[in-house]
Amino acid sequence: MSEVFISGIVVFVLAAFVGMEVISKVPPTLHTPLMSGANAISGITIVGALAGASYLGEGAAAKVLVFLAITTATINVVGGFLVTDRMLEMFKKKPVKRDG
């Protein structure tokens, strides 16, 4: 195994520990926005898609794959962060207008 790959494993394990620790005490009320925010973070794969675009040759298949990868990842990223913000905005509303 290459050094890069092994240090990748180390990084993976540590990041997984961080993920577990950070999440384990979140109140149920925030589970939906948390999940949708985490989902947006998993769109980081867009970086992989963009990197793929940097060494595109002439093959049509590669072009289609990379284009689809960029598109789907962007849906995930943009949609995920936006909808999370929309939800959290609702949570922030003050309990003012009691006259409904």
Whether 53 and 73 have beta carbons less than 8 Å apart is answered as no
Nearer to a copy of itself, 3 or 99 (CB): 3
> What phi and psi values does residue 64 have, to the nearest 5 degrees?
-60, -45
34-93: contacts with another protein (CB under 8 A): 34-57, 59, 61-63, 65-93
- b/e burial code for range 75-93 (CB count within 10 A of at least 16 → b): ebbeebbebbeeeeeeeee
4-33: contacts with another protein (CB under 8 A): 4-33
Q: Which does 58 bind (CB under 5 to 8 A by kind): a copy of itself, another protein, none?
A: none
Decide: is 41 part of the binding site for a copy of itself (CB under 8 A).
no
Q: Which does 41 bind (CB under 5 to 8 A by kind): another protein, a copy of itself, none?
A: another protein
**5, HSE (Cβ side, Cα atoms, 13 Å):** 2
Other beta carbons less than 10 A from residue 73's beta carbon: 19
Part in contact with a copy of itself (CB under 8 A); list of ranges 21-29, 48-56, 71-79, 85-93: 21-29
Q: What is the SS3 string spanning 83-94?
A: HHHHHHHHHHCC
Question: Which residues of this chain interact with a copy of itself, rule CB under 8 A?
Answer: 3-4, 7, 10-11, 14-15, 17-18, 21-22, 25
